[in-house]
Structure 1
């Protein structure tokens, strides 16, 4: 059972309402609103503290829409985090995106299970390997560190940290 009731716009403080409007007016907004107007997933909790929630959602938007990671590689990393943290919400949110990007049911099942994934693209395979290493060890060996350009490695470590934060919040608030 959810620990945090969903807030509708009429329930919000002015700062929380401003954050709500930022989230709902962006590219994630349309599918993050329930029938009563409340935010779903991790976004409802962000309204508890707009001074922290706003920078967090801005970071998420940057990771999703403005990094140099290819879309398929980004979704692989997100789904690796979802599998590692057993985050049903993140799986439900990102598996449809992965399917639209051409991932097969077998590939998605392998991701869920933490098993090897048949990938043709070497960048995708590298991103998945590095994401899984970060999740398992919180660090990289020298070969893993050197496998991506530094800017992409920065973006990937940030992505793994961001989605791990969301997985923690989703678990704690029982979303």
Structure 2
């Protein structure tokens, strides 16, 4: 890392910067099958209220963000969540993603989450490596899970089981 980075809560006030980073991810065609950035109200409703993080640069700019979505509304899956981690184009390769993911794991365990999962487009090798560094393992590849711009895309399913919550 070339500068000091600080973790902070992902709040509504920071959402414009979060949305801009998400839009950068969409533009790569490798980060998500979604093609539009939701407004704050929709984003807020879709994500768990806890474990919402940003990394701030020394200048106070959002360099990346992470959050969790529930995988199911059924109570038996209340300890399972899906990870989203996005790093701004200017901050990639500087350890931002790993810092976010490690803190996301820590905070999720404090909230009783025993399994984190990630769905990563098969060609997104940097994200696959990042998740493996943070203790995720490949469970399998879901072939032709969804289409992006008319092309079927395979999505790797990774998971991380908590060593804290047994």
User: Could you state the TM-score of these two structures normalised by the residue count of structure 2?
Assistant: 0.27
Q: Which has the higher strand share?
A: 2
Higher percent of residues as helix: 1
Q: How high is the TM-score relative to the length of structure 1? A: 0.27
